[in-house]
Structure 1
Amino acid sequence: MSNTPDTAVRAYIDAHRAAFLDDLAEWLRIPSVSADPARAADVRRSAQWLAAKLRETGFPTVEVWETGETGTDGAPGAPAVFAEWPSGEEDAPTVLVYGHHDVQPAAREDGWHTDPFEPTAVDGRLYARGAADDKGQVFFHTLGVRAHLAATGRTAPAVNLKLLIEGEEESGSPNFPALVHARADRLACDAVIVSDTGMWSEDTPTVCTGMRGLTDCQIDLYGPDQDIHSGSFGGAVPNPATEAARLAAALHDGDRRVAIPGFYDGIVELSEAERELFAELPFDEKRWLGAAHSHGALGEAGYSTLERVWARPTAEVNGIGGGYQGPGGKTIVPSTAQLKLSFRLVAGQDADRVQQSVRAWVAAALPEGIRHEVTFWGATRPCLTPLDHPALQSVVRAMGRAFGQKIRFTREGGSGPAADLQDALGAPVLFLGISVPSDGWHAPNEKVELDLLMKGVETAAYLWGDLAASGRTDRRPSP
């Protein structure tokens, strides 16, 4: 729907590619590892570097936002970067781009072929920590908006463009929800674009339409006041380790459905159209199992593997323990046992209600003589954008122009901070990413495919015009 000439966009990108990659390499040299307190100054330097580059790009408003205090020492959180470039047109929609500038830890001795913080280009790939996750995918927006302006002759984007690039995503975004709620007026938008995701493969470009939520807990079980002799007392008193095992075994029914009463209440079921779209993807289950280091696929009856990991809620036993774990035997009834569980949530589920259901299920399942505590560590809400949402269709069209082929759809089985933006801002969340599974996020030798990175630039160049031409986007939050 945009009037942006494709040839002009591509010519601009080609002319500025080398300088763009030089700038990206400079940013990648900053070891902005948010999980390492010793790198706090580097994370701050990364934010300041990005802020300066966004000003150079043309954003008239660029700010480094401090985040709340974390830890008992009162140390500040890592800074986020906010930028804003008004369109100047009264009816232009407002779009917020989200990403992060912090990275995972990396060291040569972890198995890297090169220094992880000295970007190295080999055979069309750029190797460095953060190349794909997420500096490369954040940075493509700088060249994308410049290509958009150059090709259209505009002096400002066709949309009111905002960026929020946080500095703690790789540390669990501890301050992000509070930051978003506190700054909701500055972040107000009609749609959120998350560029911290990927595609199915180099040959099959895709758009992600949602992420699952997450809540996890530990269940502590207490029986006798101390370990006791299993010959004198076993079989006549409750055993916490046995009850932990019984809870784990009762977590699913015979069809591998979660057996906690109320767990599925309110969920948004997969439509037949979505199931057909998932089935179009060239999924090789044997290869997928190899990547999972697993020897078989198993899950909720009636659903395919992709449907299970993308669009169905799950309950997993993350750990179970209790009693003697040393060499040989020790014939006791242990005094305590523990069970760690995590629950992936889908659209329509509420984490608070799920937590209440889990607590009630545990209390009802345990016998007299077993005391228990259930501790939840937090929750991330799911997010989902309907396939027919106009803003999603703009992303699909822009990506289709850049790649020159049909764009298919995926979801993400994991969880992230996107739902915090959806909740605070009441705007739909769209995902625009060009990374592929072989990029090795969080692994040694992380890389980004340079041609795909340029496709991300091109997509961004087309997207702002398409969103503006489509009219003001739907402000209703996704289900």
Structure 2
Amino acid sequence: MSTAPDSAVRAFIEEHRADFLDDLMEWLRIPSVSADPARAADVRLSADWLAATLARTGFPVAEVWTPPVGEDGPGAPAVFAEWPSGDPDAPTVLVYGHHDVQPADREDGWRTEPFEPVIRDGRLHARGAADDKGQVFFHTLGVRAHLAATGRTAPAVNLKLLIEGEEESGSPNFPALIRERADRLACDAVIVSDTGMWSATTPTVCTGMRGLTDCQIDLYGPEQDIHSGSFGGAVPNPATEAARLAAALHDSDRRVAIPGFYDGVVELTDRERELFAELPFDTSDWLRTAHSRATLGEAGHTTLERIWARPTAEVNGISGGYRGPGGKTIVPSTAQLKLSFRLVAGMDAEKVQQAVRAWVAARLPAGIRHEITFWRATRPCLTPLDHPGLQSVVRAMGRAFGQKIRFTREGGSGPAADLQDVLDVPVLFLGISVPSDGWHAPNEKVELDLLMKGVETAAYLWADLAENGRALRTAPDASCP
């Protein structure tokens, strides 16, 4: 296996940096907003542009896929590309990202037009610069640098790309697309380039994401709003019961009080807690980003542990009864409670849903009818620290950044678990975005120096994964526990 010399990789990247940025800015000019039906043609244009560019990069296969028709109609187009290694023992790696973007308008607070990229002070500003076109696109120059520096004519791994077109709309049709095309997507590992790092000076690798399930609980009491003087205190009030459910969701230690909720939870190891503690976390800075005046959560855990590695339950909304000006002395006929649950390794969304249903039914009095509607069920995703694929990512990043790579997790949820579930392979994360990049916010940007570090990391990664191909294929199951 030919390992790319660092100097050769960096020289190639620098030589082609300007053309790479010109191409990226051309792609960023396409307003591929998947949530806006009026932009459907732009999303398709974005997919076509990427497929053509990947073919020009050297991928012998570059196709635009339309997801199966779902409840809301056909999904947004995804791009699939494939470049076989030619080596019979080479592992197969699938890179995931997305080419759709969040809505953006000048009046939202952008200093410049969101779909007219601008380079200013070493930063590229545009919608999608970091989330996720920039992080997808660094793989195009990365694989070229890998080839140029090693003298290969094809990557050291069988390289596949799947770039989704509806991630910013919740990926409603993505699981069906994966199942339908599972044979084409078969691989030994997935690289997700839709995450970030702790900071520009503290490069990190994400090792997992939490799962998610959320619901609405509709409560029904009297057949209509009734007089609180004539009937209040003598009949069940659905708004009161919604409040009682919300108040009973946690115990005095801020643990979720639903029986069975923590069944199967994989607890943090001492080593993982030490690694979290190594990060330069500043509570005051974090509170500013949270727009909050204080931290609060499950007793016995730090803030990072709470948002990365502990399951949570949140009241997203509570409503019912009169909400107009002044007072109205009624017992309302209906109330609603919206809840979301973040899940960690070892938890099963369907079992959590069953536990929530049983808990609600046990707490409501006679005379209150209820209905529960669950919307999503996303599994958590976690890769063990000693997994050989993760170690390849760490080594490649370490070469690019020239310093120790630390570890994080993501508190949110994404489609990584769908890839892991259907393809039955580990998911590894490679992202170079930093919190200040402003995902989903006005003036989104990507740091150009970090973007080039992503290119360099990708250039080193494929040879490292190829050298560890057997270990990658025979490693213990790294799917979501």
Give the TM-score band, short-chain normalised: over 0.9
1:24 aligned partner, one-letter code = L
| Aligned twin of 2:428 | 430
SS in 2 for 1:348: coil
C-alpha distance after superposition, 1:354-376 (max 9, x if no partner): 00000000000001111100110
Deviation at 1:70, TM superposition (A): 4.7
Assess if the C-alpha contact under 8 Å between 1:390 and 1:474 holds in 2.
no
| Aligned twin of 2:309 | 311
1:276 aligned partner, one-letter code = E
Assess if the C-alpha contact under 8 Å between 2:393 and 2:461 holds in 1.
yes
Give the whole-Å Cα distance in 2 for the aligned partners of 1:261 and 1:364: 11
Q: TM-score, normalised by structure 2?
A: 0.98
1:30 aligned partner, one-letter code = I
| Aligned twin of 1:40 | 40
Deviation at 1:77, TM superposition (A): 1.7
Assess if the C-alpha contact under 8 Å between 1:216 and 1:343 holds in 2.
yes
What is the aligned counterpart of 2:119 among 110, 118, 121? 121
C-alpha distance after superposition, 1:334-362 (max 9, x if no partner): 11111000000001100000000000000
| Aligned twin of 1:3 | 3
With over 3 angstroms needed to count, the CA separation of the structure-2 counterparts of 1:422 and 1:179, relative to structure 1, is same
The answer to whether 1:350 aligns with 2:348 is yes
SS in 1 for 2:407: strand
Deviation at 1:38, TM superposition (A): 0.7
Within-5 A mapping of 1:45-444: 45-70=45-70, 74=73, 76-444=74-442
Q: Which runs of 4+ in 1 moved over 4 A?
A: none
Give the whole-Å Cα distance in 2 for the aligned partners of 1:70 and 1:444: 32
CA RMSD of aligned residues (A): 1.0
C-alpha distance after superposition, 1:219-249 (max 9, x if no partner): 0111111111111111111111111011000
Give the whole-Å Cα distance in 1 for the aligned partners of 2:127 and 2:137: 14
Assess if the C-alpha contact under 8 Å between 1:102 and 1:167 holds in 2.
yes
C-alpha distance after superposition, 1:81-109 (max 9, x if no partner): 00011111111111000000000011111
Deviation at 1:71, TM superposition (A): 5.7
C-alpha distance after superposition, 1:139-186 (max 9, x if no partner): 000000000000000000000000000100000001100000111111
Give the whole-Å Cα distance in 1 for the aligned partners of 2:31 and 2:271: 44
C-alpha distance after superposition, 1:256-291 (max 9, x if no partner): 000001101111111111100000000001110111
Give the whole-Å Cα distance in 1 for the aligned partners of 2:301 and 2:209: 18
With over 3 angstroms needed to count, the CA separation of the structure-2 counterparts of 1:416 and 1:2, relative to structure 1, is farther
1:262 aligned partner, one-letter code = G
The answer to whether 1:449 aligns with 2:473 is no
Give the whole-Å Cα distance in 1 for the aligned partners of 2:2 and 2:433: 25
The answer to whether 1:464 aligns with 2:462 is yes
2:56 aligned partner, one-letter code = E
SS in 2 for 1:232: helix
C-alpha distance after superposition, 1:410-447 (max 9, x if no partner): 00000000000000000000100000000000000000
SS in 2 for 1:300: coil
1:59 aligned partner, one-letter code = F
SS in 2 for 1:69: coil
Assess if the C-alpha contact under 8 Å between 2:382 and 2:478 holds in 1.
no
SS in 2 for 1:186: helix
Give the whole-Å Cα distance in 2 for the aligned partners of 1:89 and 1:282: 43
Give the whole-Å Cα distance in 2 for the aligned partners of 1:471 and 1:339: 49
SS in 2 for 1:113: coil
1:9 aligned partner, one-letter code = V
Give the whole-Å Cα distance in 2 for the aligned partners of 1:2 and 1:321: 63
Give the whole-Å Cα distance in 2 for the aligned partners of 1:186 and 1:243: 51
C-alpha distance after superposition, 1:4-50 (max 9, x if no partner): 10000000000000000000000000010001111101100000000
Give the whole-Å Cα distance in 2 for the aligned partners of 1:233 and 1:108: 53
Deviation at 1:378, TM superposition (A): 1.8
2:63 aligned partner, one-letter code = E
| Aligned twin of 1:25 | 25
Assess if the C-alpha contact under 8 Å between 1:131 and 1:448 holds in 2.
yes
Deviation at 1:328, TM superposition (A): 1.2
> Where in structure 1 are there 5+ consecutive unaligned residues?
none
- The size of the alignment, in residue pairs, is 477
Assess if the C-alpha contact under 8 Å between 1:389 and 1:474 holds in 2.
no
With over 3 angstroms needed to count, the CA separation of the structure-2 counterparts of 1:365 and 1:417, relative to structure 1, is same
Q: Percent identity?
A: 84
Deviation at 1:112, TM superposition (A): 0.5
Assess if the C-alpha contact under 8 Å between 2:91 and 2:473 holds in 1.
no
Give the whole-Å Cα distance in 1 for the aligned partners of 2:120 and 2:226: 63
Give the whole-Å Cα distance in 2 for the aligned partners of 1:305 and 1:275: 11
1:5 aligned partner, one-letter code = P
Give the whole-Å Cα distance in 1 for the aligned partners of 2:119 and 2:54: 24
Give the whole-Å Cα distance in 1 for the aligned partners of 2:184 and 2:406: 33
Give the whole-Å Cα distance in 1 for the aligned partners of 2:299 and 2:419: 33
Give the whole-Å Cα distance in 2 for the aligned partners of 1:406 and 1:477: 24
2:311 aligned partner, one-letter code = P
1:166 aligned partner, one-letter code = E
SS in 1 for 2:469: coil
Give the whole-Å Cα distance in 2 for the aligned partners of 1:2 and 1:421: 30
Give the whole-Å Cα distance in 2 for the aligned partners of 1:474 and 1:417: 22
C-alpha distance after superposition, 1:284-339 (max 9, x if no partner): 01110111110100000000000000000000000001111111111111111110
Give the whole-Å Cα distance in 2 for the aligned partners of 1:145 and 1:320: 50
Deviation at 1:471, TM superposition (A): 2.6
Assess if the C-alpha contact under 8 Å between 1:423 and 1:477 holds in 2.
no
Give the whole-Å Cα distance in 2 for the aligned partners of 1:304 and 1:373: 36
Give the whole-Å Cα distance in 1 for the aligned partners of 2:325 and 2:122: 52
Give the whole-Å Cα distance in 2 for the aligned partners of 1:412 and 1:136: 19
